[in-house]
């Protein structure tokens, strides 16, 4: 019986895609690191740039290393990831909101 599965069908990446992902990850790490080590921008702008690069790096890891894409084979994985991300954002965001509110009301007296 012939093997009907190729590496692409199984969702495995090629060496080229891993190298691209690695190079992008290194670049997306070095730029924020340089901005923090050698401050030349206002702190708030540096924070927003670091956060933006972090989000971009998460997306690079999802695409190049975890192989999440828009294909039909990955649809369930993407839905599960989006659901988990929403739950995490809600838990962390609402927890921070509660802690900030408690701090504000406790310090107001």
Tell whether 77 and 60 lie within a shared domain: no
Tell whether 59 and 85 lie within a shared domain: no
pLDDT for 11: 56
Low-confidence ranges of the chain (pLDDT < 70): 1-11, 108-109
What is 30-83 written as a DSSP string? HHHHHHHHS--S-HHHHHHHHHHHHHHHHHHIIIIIS---SSGGGHHHHHHHHH
pTM > 0.75: yes or no: no
pLDDT for 109: 61
Tell whether 58 and 92 lie within a shared domain: no
Tell whether 52 and 30 lie within a shared domain: yes
pLDDT (tens digit per residue) in 61-81: 988 988 888 888 888 888 888
pLDDT for 105: 83
Tell whether 3 and 20 lie within a shared domain: yes
- Which residues constitute the domain of residue 25? 1-67
């Amino acid at each position: 019986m012939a093997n009907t599965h190729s590496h692409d069908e199984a969702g495995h990446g090629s060496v080229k895609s891993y190298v691209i992902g690695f190079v992008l990850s290194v670049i997306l790490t070095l730029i924020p690191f340089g901005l923090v080590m050698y401050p030349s921008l206002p702190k708030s702008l540096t924070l927003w740039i670091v956060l933006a690069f972090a989000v971009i790096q998460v997306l690079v890891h999802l695409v190049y290393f975890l192989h999440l894409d828009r294909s039909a084979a990955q649809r369930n994985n993407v839905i599960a990831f989006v659901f988990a991300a929403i739950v995490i954002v809600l838990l962390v965001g609402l927890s921070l909101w509660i802690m900030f509110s408690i701090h504000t009301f406790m310090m107001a007296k």
